[in-house]
Structure 1
Amino acid sequence: MAQSTQAKKNRSVLVFDTEEVVATKLSSYIADLSKQYIGQKGNFTVVLSGQAEAYALRKLVDLYADSVDWSKWWVFWVDEKVVPLDNQYSNYKVTYDDFLSGLVNKIPTNQIYPINYTDSAASVAGDYEQRVVNLAKKGIIASTESGFPKFDFMLLGMGPDGHFASLFADRPQRYNQADWVTFLTDAPEPPPKRITFTFPVINSAANIAVLAIGKSQADTVAQSIGAVNGQQCVYPTAQLQLEANGKLTWFLDKDAASKL
């Protein structure tokens, strides 16, 4: 049985008994959003993370491979390591191995947007931003009134220090309010070269799901959701202030939620 709290408008926390149940409920949530947005506007723009979320995406394929209209999906990554796409650190590779490989010929390849790899993080970031800009100009990705892209859905994991994407607490990219995509060459965990959507882009998404599993994330979850509830928080999650129309849903197992 899920526990749910509504801390602020359009924000909720869902707690389930096991990782398996979390994956099942999250898959249902994504499938419902897909149907909703395809029905409303003819496509579904999805931003994925990679590593920690792979098991949930596998469940999505297991349960909905034949019922979701995958042909209307457009797939992006909230951040990426600047490595070749077949490198073990690549978020694209993890996502392909655990998710996209189960949907071969279902999502058109020209609707899947991994990075165009070069050794320059700055060049990779500039190229990725321009590709998203082009899709926004065509109306494939919606836009906010302030001009940032408004993706339909983002699936985020959370680092042990509470960071999202590659927006680390002690790196200046966290405070970038101008660019859509930024880069860093000195990430505090390997590999050092990364690109990432900025907080204004993350915050502009219509729907965000944050996934946290296990006791190792309990302290960070407690601090971060405390910030959502208006309490003091030392983690960057406090920066995740969504616009009025955005929805933020935390999907937790009971271990991750054990210190709430």
Structure 2
Amino acid sequence: MSELRTAVHPDARTLAEATAGRVLDVLTAAQDERGEASVVLTGGGMGTAVLAAVATSPDRSAVDWSRVDVWWSDERFTEGASAERNCVQAAEAVGGALALDPDRVHCMGSADEFTSPEEAAEDYLRELAAAAAREGRDGPLPRFDLSLLGLGPDGHVASLFSGRPHVHEERATVLGVRDSPKPPPQRVSMTLPLINAAERVWLLVAGAEKAQAVAAVRAGAPVGRTPGAGVRGAQETLLLLARDAAGA
């Protein structure tokens, strides 16, 4: 696991634009190495702002988007067209500017398709295993070049919340969540070991209300209290901050 490094940006817009450049660099390098690339996306304001910045970047054509696999670390278990869903928000942020292969955009299952978040989680595990098999991987997980994450004011990442048993799950898996303290209560989420399977994991944080959670992550707080403190990429872990989230 890599050590946590921090980079502070003047404001949220600068953070989004700088992160978009970093994303393009990672995906380009991955495709130069093996012809493919993959990214795990997050929701929230910063997650969608980064996607919008990628979609409008003049350097976006450096990536062959038809050869990029897009995954999500969590999703709200609602109707598929719901504006609450991370997948829907991502599509709106990109606005058709990236020539993605629809078969390689892996949205988590919705309440239209499955009767429970647990069923949607099991389906996502099958999709991950199928992608791993296509890549010729030994295990049930495909390669993740990069995972983008937000950080809540309470320190949560994906749909892993403080004090909930999902935070302590030791398997690299996908779980149904029924007791989210943020609405909607039913969600689907990767566990920390699965998030940490990515080569690079970046936490994107803006807003003064998140400064306390950022401080807890940087101090290495207990994961049960601050789930974001348990995030570590295999090669790189970055805490990418807007100035207001950096605190003192």
Q: TM-score with structure 2 length normalisation?
A: 0.90
| Counterpart Cα distance in 2 of 1:192 and 1:67 | 39
| Counterpart Cα distance in 1 of 2:176 and 2:95 | 25
Cα 1:235–1:179 change in 2 (3 A) is: closer
2:234 corresponds to 1:240:
no
Structure 2 SS opposite 1:102 = coil
| Counterpart Cα distance in 2 of 1:20 and 1:156 | 17
| Counterpart Cα distance in 2 of 1:162 and 1:98 | 25
Match of 1:78 in 2: 73
Cα 1:149–1:143 change in 2 (3 A) is: farther
Q: 2:64 aligns with which of 56, 69, 80?
A: 69
1:181·1:197 contact (CA, 8 Å) conserved in 2? Answer: yes
Structure 2 SS opposite 1:101 = coil
Gaps of 5+ in 2: none
Cα 1:158–1:80 change in 2 (3 A) is: same
Q: 1:251 aligns with which of 240, 245, 248?
A: 240
1:149·1:204 contact (CA, 8 Å) conserved in 2? Answer: no
Cα 1:239–1:232 change in 2 (3 A) is: closer
Match of 1:4 in 2: none
Which one-letter code corresponds to 2:239 in the other structure?
Answer: W
Q: 1:102 aligns with which of 78, 97, 101?
A: 97
| Counterpart Cα distance in 2 of 1:10 and 1:135 | 29
1:148·1:180 contact (CA, 8 Å) conserved in 2? Answer: no
Deviations 1:50-91 (A, max 9, x none): 222111111111113433221111101100111122102111
Match of 2:156 in 1: 163
| Counterpart Cα distance in 1 of 2:194 and 2:26 | 19
1:143·1:149 contact (CA, 8 Å) conserved in 2? Answer: no
Deviations 1:148-178 (A, max 9, x none): 5441110100111101101111211111222
2:2·2:232 contact (CA, 8 Å) conserved in 1? Answer: no
Deviations 1:109-164 (A, max 9, x none): 10101123223111111001111011112217x677xx654411101001111011
Q: TM-score with structure 1 length normalisation?
A: 0.86
| Counterpart Cα distance in 2 of 1:25 and 1:10 | 21
Q: How many residues align?
A: 242
More displaced 10-residue stretch of structure 1: 51-60 or 26-35: 51-60
Counterpart mapping for 1:200-239 below 5 A = 200-227=193-220, 234-239=225-230
Cα 1:26–1:88 change in 2 (3 A) is: same
| Counterpart Cα distance in 1 of 2:152 and 2:2 | 25
Gaps of 5+ in 1: 1-7
| Counterpart Cα distance in 2 of 1:149 and 1:10 | 23
1:149·1:201 contact (CA, 8 Å) conserved in 2? Answer: no
